Structure 1
Amino acid sequence: MERWDRVGRKAAYGAALALSPYLLIKVSWVIGSLVGVLPIGEGFGLAAWVALNTVTIGMAAIGIALALALVRPWGMRIPGALVALCSWVGSGFLVSVLPFLLVGALRSAGGDAGGDAVGGAGGGGDDPALPVWEGVLLEFSFVGMGLGLALAVPAYLRRRWPDAFAGRVGDGPRAVAPWAGVVGVVGGVIPGLVWLYWAAGGTLGIAHPAERNTDGYVLGAVWGFWALAGSVAIWTMARARPARLPRWIPLTFGWVGSGSLFAWSAWKLPLLLIVAMARPAGVTPPEDLTVALALHLCAVVAGAAMIRTLVRTRVGTRVGTGVGTPTRLA
C-alpha cells in the first residue's frame, strides 16, 4: 500500500473519531432540553431548538458514516454517485473553511469559545449556556473532520477512480464544449466577488453594518476565495487549457470550490428564508436579506452546474493506448 493511501486511511478514522464529540454534545442538547435539565439556545423556542439540533445530529451521523466509508471495504461497494455526493458536500462544508475553523479552535482554547459554525446553534463565548469545554470540543470536531476529509477524500477517489487524477488537463479529446462551464463560472464569480467586497469592508448591500463582526469578515473572505478558485478551475477543465497543467490541481480546486458554493449556500438559504418570514427577535443578519438570498441562490445553482461540468469532463487516456476515456467521478 502506497504511503498516500495509508495517510488517507488514517485520516478517515481520525475524522470519524473527531466528529464523535459533536454528535454526542448535540444529542445531549436535544435530550436535555426536552426533559428540562439544559437551557434552550437564546432566541429559540423549544420546537425550533430541537428541530435545528436534530438536523445537525443527522448531519454528524452522515459525516461519521462517510468517513468510515472512505476507509472500510464496504465503502467501495456503495454506489459511486452517493459517496461522491456526500464527499463533495462534506468537503464543501468543512475543507473550504479550515482556516476559519483553525482560528476558531485557537480562540476557543484560549477561553473565547466560538459559535457553532456549521450547525448554527451554538452560543458564543458570552453565552452561559455553552461552557468553554463544549465550545472547545465543537471546534475540535470541525477542525478534525475538515482535516481528515482533506486527506481521506482524495485518497478514496484515487482508489476508486484512478484515471481521474492521472495525466494533464490537455490529454485526450474533450467530452464537453468549452462553453459548457459558463453558467457555473459566471454564477460562481458573482457571489465570490461580492463576498470578497464585503470581507474588505464594502458596505453596498449591507443593511445593518453594526451587526458585522470578525467572524463574518473571515468567512466572507474564505467563501469568496473558494468561489473564484472553483470558477477558475472549472473553466480550466472545460477549456482544457493550459494543456500541460497536472489534472489533479484544477480537479481539486473545482471539487472543493463547487462544493463550498453549493453546501454553504444550500444551508444558508433556508435559514435566511426563516429570518425573512418569521423575523425572530435578536436575529439580524448584516446583509440586506433580498441581496443575500439572491447571492446564495446563485451560488447553489453555480455549484451544481460546476460539479456537472467537472464529472462530464473527459479525464484521462487509457494507459498504453493514448485513447481518451470518459472517466467520471460519479
Structure 2
Amino acid sequence: MQRHLQSLAFGLVIVAVVPYTVLKLVWLAGSEIGLKNAAAVAEAESSRMLVGNTVTIVLDLLAVALAYALIRPVGRKVPAWVVLLLAGAATGLLAPILLGLPLGMVVQLATSGNVRTSGMDNLEPWVFGLVYGGFALMAVALCVLLWLYVVDRWAGILAAPPRPPALWVVVAGALGLLPFGAGMLWWGLMGPGGGGPQAMDATAQRTVLVVTGILAVAAFLAPYATPRRESYSRAAWLVTWTGCAVAALQGPTQVLLANGGNPTPVMIVLALITTPGSCLYGWMVLRGRLAAGEGRGQSSTGVALAAEGGAH
C-alpha cells in the first residue's frame, strides 16, 4: 500500500512540474504565450524575470530529484543535511500556497464574487491555473512523500515532542519568528499599506500572508506544548518544521518577488533577521531532541541523524 502511494505521489510531482517547466522554457525562448499585453512581454524579457525563470526551472528539477530519492532505497543513504535542506526549501516555498491560496480564493469569491488579483492584468487566466494549480499539486505530493520518508527513517525522533531550546536560542527564535509572523498577520488582515509586501492587496493574497504569519508564530510556540500522545508529538514537530521553513523562505521570497522586485525597507529588515533566526531556532530544537534521545540511550535513529548533522 505504501509503495503504491509513493508511486502515485511521485507521478503527481511529474504532472505538476512538466507544464510549469515547459511554460518557463518557452518564455525563456522568447514566446509570448499567456502574456496579455506589451507590459507583460517587457516584464518577461527583463533581467529579473530571466533569472527568476531560470531559477524556478532549477528548483523544479530539484523537486523531482528530491521526490525520486524519497521513493528509492538509495534515499535512505542520502545525508540528512541534504534531505533537510531540500525538504525545507520545498516546505517553505509551497506550504503558504497550499494552505493559504485555496482558502483565500474561496473567501474572495464569497465576498467579492471573483478571484482576480493585480497580476491577472498581464497574464491569461489559464496561466494562473497552471502555475498555482501545479504548485498546490506538487505541495500535496511532496508532503505525502516527505512524511512517509521521515516516519520510515526517523520515527524515533518523532516519538517525543520538540522542547524549548536554550534561552539564547529562544531569544534568537523570537526575533526571527515573532516580528515576521506579526507583520504577516497585520498586513494580511489590514492590507500591506506602505511598508508591507506591495501588490498583495487581493483577499486571496492577503489570506496567504495570514497563513504565513500563523505558521511562523505557531512554530515558535510548538515546543512549549506538552502533547502526551505520539500523534500529538508528530503534529508538534510538523508545526515546528513547517513554520520555521516558511519563515526562512518567505522573507527572502517577499523581498525578491513583491512589488516587482522593489521591496520596502521593512521587508528587507524582516528578511535579514527572520531567515537566520528561524533556521537557528528550528535546528537547535531538533538538536536538543537528538541530544536528549542520545543521553537516554534511545534508538540509533536519533544518534545517526545527530552524527550526520555534526559531520556536515
- Scaled by the length of structure 1, the TM-score of the pair is 0.74
Does 2:299 correspond to 1:301?
A: no
- Partner Cα separation in structure 2 for residue 92 and residue 267 of structure 1: 10
- Partner Cα separation in structure 2 for residue 78 and residue 161 of structure 1: 13
Structure 1 pair 227–25 and aligned structure 2 pair: CA distance change class (3 A): same
- Please tell me the residue identity of whatever aligns with 2:75: G
Answer yes or no: is the 8 Å Cα contact 2:10–2:141 preserved in 1.
yes
Structure 1 pair 168–258 and aligned structure 2 pair: CA distance change class (3 A): closer
Aligned to 2:125: 132
- Partner Cα separation in structure 2 for residue 78 and residue 152 of structure 1: 15
Answer yes or no: is the 8 Å Cα contact 1:230–1:253 preserved in 2.
yes
Aligned to 2:11: 13
Deviations along 1:79-105, one digit per CA (max 9) or x if unpaired, are: 221121100110111123313333578
CA apart distance, 1:37: 8.0
Higher mean displacement: 73-82 or 265-274:
265-274
- Please tell me the residue identity of whatever aligns with 2:153: R
Answer yes or no: is the 8 Å Cα contact 1:251–1:310 preserved in 2.
no
- Please tell me the residue identity of whatever aligns with 1:242: T
- Partner Cα separation in structure 2 for residue 22 and residue 254 of structure 1: 30
Q: Alignment length, in residue pairs?
A: 293
Give structure 1 stretches of 5+ with no counterpart.
Answer: 116-122, 277-284
Identity %: 24
- Please tell me the residue identity of whatever aligns with 2:151: R
Structure 1 pair 29–95 and aligned structure 2 pair: CA distance change class (3 A): same
Alignment map for 1:215-254 (pairs within 5 Å): 215-233=204-222, 235-236=223-224, 242=226, 244=228, 246=230, 247-254=233-240
Alignment map for 1:1-330 (pairs within 5 Å): 3=2, 7-33=5-31, 41-42=40-41, 44=43, 46-48=45-47, 49-103=49-103, 124-127=119-122, 130-168=123-161, 177=166, 179-201=168-190, 206=195, 212-233=201-222, 235-236=223-224, 242=226, 244=228, 246=230, 247-271=233-257, 275-276=261-262, 289-315=264-290, 317=293, 323-324=297-298, 326-327=302-303, 328=305, 330=309
CA apart distance, 1:17: 2.6
- Partner Cα separation in structure 2 for residue 212 and residue 164 of structure 1: 41
Deviations along 1:100-121, one digit per CA (max 9) or x if unpaired, are: 333578899xxx7877xxxxxx
Structure 2 residue matching 1:124: 3-state secondary structure: helix
CA apart distance, 1:189: 0.8
Structure 1 pair 89–312 and aligned structure 2 pair: CA distance change class (3 A): same
Give structure 2 stretches of 5+ with no counterpart.
Answer: none
Deviations along 1:169-213, one digit per CA (max 9) or x if unpaired, are: 57xxx9x53553331133201111122112221677548999733
- Partner Cα separation in structure 2 for residue 52 and residue 210 of structure 1: 18
- Please tell me the residue identity of whatever aligns with 1:264: Q
- Please tell me the residue identity of whatever aligns with 2:82: L
Answer yes or no: is the 8 Å Cα contact 1:26–1:53 preserved in 2.
yes
Aligned to 1:120: none
- Please tell me the residue identity of whatever aligns with 2:228: R
